[in-house]
Amino acid sequence: MRFLTMLALTALPTAVAAQTTPTLPTGPSTQGDVSVTIYQNGQSLVQDVRQLDLPAGRTRQEFPDVSAQIRSETVTLGGPGIGIVEQNFDFDLLSPDKLMEKAVGSVVTIVRTNPATGVETREQAKVLAANGGIVLQIGNRIEVLRDDGLPVRVVFDKVPENLRARPTLSVTLQVARAGRVPATLSYLTPGLGWTSDYVMLFDEAKATIDVQGWVTLTNSTGTTYSNADVLLVAGNPNRTPGGFERLGGFDRPGNEAIEQAGTETGTRERLGDYYLYPLGERTTIANAQQKQVSFLDVKGAPARKAYEWINGWLGTTSDPRSAATVLKFSTSKSGGLGDQLPAGTIRVYMRDARGDPQFIGENRIPATPMGSQMSIRTGEAFDVKGMAVVVERKRQSSSRWRTTMRYDFTNARPEPVTIDLAQDGLWGDVRVTDQSINGERISADRMEWKVPVPPNGKASLSVVFDTRY
């Protein structure tokens, strides 16, 4: 329904107005010196130091401009000579719809304007319902406010006590001495989060990459944090079941992108087992806003393109399947990116013949230590394909099989390629008794071979597996 809701506060006695009409904060934020620690799982710690002028004894203090999603059970308020007796969080924010909902059962004033003459008429109306529409009782008739284009507004004589113009925390304090007190308000909240994203430009001719790392801050708390000191924590602190949901459905990625985890120690500050990424200067995190800040800028790091083809079990594939195109690089200090990488998404670009960067693929990475060997899959190769064929499978005994596999590859590119072939599913006692190219046992259930394929040509690899149960 489209109509103008107008708030008109009647002239009430001072004492009554103080009890029934809440303060409506206006103007700039009432926050003080704000520090925000943001974790990658959407949880954030807000610390807000405000200067309070307090009388001695028991007093009620309101804190507007807190998160609309504040976890009230995590609130602490510290300051010399003050203690918390009781606290309440008013999360119903002032809006036309909320005013009408709270007015059900109350009497309001309906003001109509004649569009031809401009004359206003006023009627007292009792609000009967505000469920998908406004139902009023005016005298002996029942009326529904309609969106008929006629100028109508509703006038209220007061604001309901539990409606606030801003998210507000009210606290009853016991104050030892009157005066100005610096008080630190701390609380946890969802709705603030950060993700890391990486833009990678790959130069195949030079075998190098340029990498720009970006932090993206998001704020859906309903509150703007002005001139805040922001600290980002790379990691996922544990939380008890039943807590708030992680921001944006953030899921911990797998470790497929890490070929070998690094063992180098970085120079960044740590908190326990987490890395800290403080922003270089204070910033305002506006509500319903995304903000991006650079944290990594590396030029000309070594990288190479490779082709991977994985067979999941000792069986024949039905059709030729494209090899995966991957980029391999290091995060080591010497010859790599020289940093640990927060979990995020790497988007890879290459320059075309005109010199314009074009997107060629993306992949997620987990939290990656410095010194790691990385393999980022960007997509499927158009011209490089492979098939697995069971040449022979023969039972040797009741618990032993002999399987001869052939892996056939084609290359329609004008230059030679090398296929990194991986055979998975080698569970149990599986031995290789013959192979046309020597391979390497990577793990208990995987072997790998490097298969060279000539330009515009074909190549095959034969392997005999002895499987015992």
Mean pLDDT (whole number) for 125-151: 83
Task: Compute the distance between CA of residue 406 and CA of residue 391 in angstroms, rounded to an integer.
Answer: 7
Give pLDDT, residue 116. 82
- Span 420-439, pLDDT tens digits: 999 999 988 999 999 999 99
Task: Compute the distance between CA of residue 40 and CA of residue 381 in angstroms, rounded to an integer.
Answer: 33
End-to-end Cα distance, the chain: 72
| Alpha carbon 85 to its chain's center | 36
Question: What pairs with residue 284 in β-bridges?
Answer: none
Amino acid, single-letter form, for residue 361: G
Mean pLDDT (whole number) for 153-175: 77
Beta-carbon contacts of 306 under 8 Å, excluding residues fewer than 6 positions away, are 325, 326, 327, 328, 375, 418, 420
Give pLDDT, residue 4. 35
pLDDT bucket at 12, cuts 50 / 70 / 90: very low
Question: What pairs with residue 136 in β-bridges?
Answer: 127, 143
Asked whether the predicted pLDDT for residue 124 surpasses 60, the reply is yes
Secondary element (H or E) of residue 217: strand 208-219
Structure tokens at 369: 């230590």
Q: Closest by alpha carbon to 148, among 108, 101, 112, 99? A: 112
Task: Compute the distance between CA of residue 137 and CA of residue 352 in angstroms, rounded to an integer.
Answer: 70
Long-range contacts of 104-111 (CB under 8 A, 24+ apart): 104/128, 104/129, 104/130, 108/154, 108/155, 108/156, 108/157, 109/8, 109/154, 109/155, 109/156, 109/157, 110/136, 110/138, 110/152, 110/153, 110/154, 110/155, 111/6, 111/152, 111/153, 111/154, 111/155
Whole-model pTM: value is 0.69
Beta-carbon contacts of 268 under 8 Å, excluding residues fewer than 6 positions away, are 275, 276, 277, 339, 340
DSSP 326-383: EEEEE-SSSSS--S-B-SEEEEEEEE-TTS-EEEEEEEEE--B-BT-EEEEEEEEEEE
Give pLDDT, residue 248. 36
Contact 191, 98 (CB under 8 A): no
Structure tokens at 205: 């001719």
- How many percent of the chain have pLDDT more than 70? 86
pLDDT bucket at 270, cuts 50 / 70 / 90: confident
Largest Cα separation within the chain, whole Å, is 103
- Span 200-252, pLDDT tens digits: 999 999 999 999 999 999 999 989 999 999 999 987 777 655 443 333 333 33
Asked whether the predicted pLDDT for residue 65 surpasses 50, the reply is yes
**Which sequence spans correspond to the domains of the chain?**
192-469
Task: Compute the distance between CA of residue 277 and CA of residue 264 in angstroms, rounded to an integer.
Answer: 18
